[in-house]
Structure 1
Amino acid sequence: MQVIDRRKALSIPPVWRLAFRPFFLAGSLFALLAIPLWVAVWTGLWPGFQPTGGWLSWHRHEMLFGFAMAIVAGFLLTAGQTWTGQPGISGNKLMALAAVWLLARLGWLFGLPLMLLIPLDLLFMLGVTGLMARMLWVVRQKRNYPIIAVLTLMIGADVLVLCGLARNDDSLQRQGVLAGLWLVAALMAIIGGRVIPFFTQRGLGHTEAVKPWLWLDVALLVGTGLIAVLYAAGPALQQNALLGGLFLAIAAGHLLRLVRWYDAGIWRVPLLWSLHLAMLWLVVAAAGLALWNFGLLANSSSSLHALSVGSMSGLILAMIARVTLGHTGRPLQLPTGIVSAFVLFNLGAAARVFLASEWPVTGLWMAAICWTLAFALYAWRYAPMLVAARVDGHPG
């Protein structure tokens, strides 16, 4: 059976052998095109057609449920195979899931009628959640059930956005997007808390990883989930000192974890400092939102972009750079130009968070250029790996 299964797996074109391959590739290509397009529209350089719901609705929804969830799907549906011992999605089923994702993205951009776009958009999220839930349920892997809970809530957040779109209610759309953003932060809290200490230990040659404090991990997950629920319900859109205290606690909890994980040796290893910096951006985001809720910052936009750009997208870039190497059978040695991609990305995040509020056009274009170059470097160096067979000859 092992020989037959191996032959069957190797007969599948490499790009369809595991979910990380098409989704990391498609997600990175989408990212490097979508942000310069958005900034061009925002600065008046793109006076053409309108996507479904208008450009702001497109930008908010697609960078979260299009770009970020493509990477989440690729990561989880690949990692699930390792976690459970169950075969990951591949072949025709993976092609179908990727096609649904692509059609939904094209539908949003080119104004597909809502009666077609809404079920198409939800089908991708339902497919990812259902596939992941099945893998975990078969082996009763309760440790990872919280991931299914978060993905299920993400579907709810997407429904909220789509309801807002159907009702032409911008506030409802914003509630859903911000709830979804903090649900991704909850996934980052779960996954980051597991892999970053382990990667740090392996990358620096230590004998043991820093042991997690379960109470802290649970508190961060519950607190972040509560923020998502409050955004979905609406109160988090308004300044509130109690909510500011919750954001401050989230910032302190993540900072405490970073201090525990820290080792000066990470600065010699780009695959490590890129991960740690991404989580530091989460601290900046939560602290900024705490200050906004306390009335000490004029607006929340910069803090939200510290989360969406600096932390979420920074962790995405760092993780896909590492995961692609490991799952294509390569040593963990970054290709030429990827260290520059990490540097450019974080410079762009700083421009978006700290410059764009004072010099909007300059700050946004600096951020967009750095972002685009970073993901272009990833696509250039990693696309050949993603579409080719593993270098060690194994399936996957």
Structure 2
Amino acid sequence: MQVVDRRKALSIPPVWRLAFRPFFLAGSVYALLAIPLWVAAWTGFWPGFQPTGGWLAWHRHEMLFGFAMAIVAGFLLTAVQTWTGQVAPSGNRLMGVALIWLAARLGWLLGLPAPLLVPLDLLFLLVVAWMMARMLWAVRQQRNYPIVVVLTLMIGADALMLAGVLQGNDALQRQGVLAGLWLVAALMALIGGRVIPFFTQRGLGRTAQVKAWPWLDWSLLVGSALIALLHAFGVALAPHALIGLLFLAIGLGHLLRLVRWYDADLRKVPLLWSLHLAMLWLVVACFGLALWHFGVLAQSSPALHALSVGSMSGLILAMIARVTLGHTGRPLQLPAGVVWAFVLFNLGAFARVFLATAWPVPGLWLAAICWASAFALYVWRYAPMLVAARVDGHPG
């Protein structure tokens, strides 16, 4: 659908033509810098320097509301143009949203006083949610209204986390960030359930599509949102057998979807197996958290990092590698060497989840080096695509 004035669109510098361009690039650069910075701070480097709220609060907040939500914003504010036929933010409007995001990131790191940082940080999510809601409402596209609901709840989770920073309340910070993390898991359940089977069948040239089970997709969305609310109210911070059953059910649901989507040939296509592996990490996270709530595991941290690192961030890396190719008019073929980004990333996730508990310092450094190397490979190969015009000459 032709929804933009071609001449006007082509007059905009390429990096500001669609939201995926600045946000995929900025989010990836931020990711490759932030994790080594956090591990260095955790292991005792620059002890006199503290971001707003301290290093732990910064790490908790920024990897979710800084890094992950930048990628989510880039994806949604690009996809909504295709979904609705409305003109997506570009040019000065898009630049303004990106500058709000950047100002909040710098504010956190450079120690901006919390009362000033709070409204600046919340403004980014408010703007993204408003832009999405406005475009979806214009065409009454009810199918995607749940995305706006999740984004609105994310604003609440962020506010909860920020309230914890203002009060110096660690429990409140955990409630906010874990609620936000499971809201992202809800988005993964919703959007992943649509695009992963489609990408798989299209990428392998299959004519028969895997028929969706709406009841399962909605169950996973609602279940993840319920866990987010339980965390927001502090109910899920301590082990509880009933909550363990909920995690077990969600894990089984995601595993069932993966089995239905599976095709033996996807192992030959890195752009596909990376997506499926990210969703498998979500199964690992759910089962691990179920075992923690049942009292079998002593710590919840490894399972939470299976979700935040292995699944959420793994899906981000896999999606931005594919989406960038498609939206810049290129064939869906990985640039040379980028398959190693997927390999290194998952090696780092394994180190963080399974090695860092027994060997904290070497395990965390191995995870950080693999993580940073994976995103550095993405930036190296994809930055030239993100700042240049589409190869087919079309806007976007």
Give TM-score scaled by structure 2 length. Answer: 0.99
Matched AA of 1:284: V
CA displacement at 1:329 relative to structure 2: 0.4
Distance 2:112 2:45 in 1: 24
Distance 1:38 1:117 in 2: 20
CA displacement at 1:3 relative to structure 2: 11
Aligned 8 A contact 1:341 1:378 in 2: yes
Q: Which residue of 1 aligns with 2:123?
A: 123
CA displacement at 1:47 relative to structure 2: 2.2
Aligned 8 A contact 1:16 1:95 in 2: yes
Q: Deviations over 1:249-290 (max 9, x none)?
A: 000000000000000000000000000000000000000000
CA displacement at 1:5 relative to structure 2: 1.3
Identity of aligned residues (%): 79
CA displacement at 1:115 relative to structure 2: 2.3
Q: Which residue of 1 aligns with 2:82?
A: 82
Distance 2:156 2:320 in 1: 26
Report the more deviating stretch, 25-34 or 204-213. Answer: 204-213
Q: Which residue of 1 aligns with 2:137?
A: 137
Please state if 1:218 is matched with 2:213.
no
Distance 2:47 2:79 in 1: 42
Deviating above 3 A after TM superposition, structure 1's stretches of 4 or more consecutive aligned residues are: none
Trace 1:171-250 onto structure 2 (pairs within 5 A). 171-250=171-250
Q: Which residue of 2 aligns with 1:288?
A: 288
User: Secondary structure at the residue paired with 1:174?
Assistant: helix
Please state if 1:359 is matched with 2:376.
no
Give TM-score scaled by structure 1 length. Answer: 0.99
Trace 1:1-396 onto structure 2 (pairs within 5 A). 5-396=5-396
Aligned 8 A contact 2:3 2:87 in 1: no
Unaligned runs of 5+ in 2: none
Distance 2:3 2:235 in 1: 57
Distance 1:225 1:46 in 2: 38
User: Secondary structure at the residue paired with 2:342?
Assistant: helix
Distance 1:272 1:48 in 2: 44
Distance 1:24 1:3 in 2: 23
Distance 2:329 2:48 in 1: 44
Give the superposed CA RMSD. 1.0
CA displacement at 1:4 relative to structure 2: 8.6
Unaligned runs of 5+ in 1: none
Aligned 8 A contact 1:200 1:209 in 2: no
Report the more deviating stretch, 41-50 or 386-395. Answer: 41-50
Report the more deviating stretch, 110-119 or 273-282. Answer: 110-119
Distance 2:233 2:324 in 1: 38
Matched AA of 1:17: R
Matched AA of 1:255: L
CA displacement at 1:114 relative to structure 2: 1.8
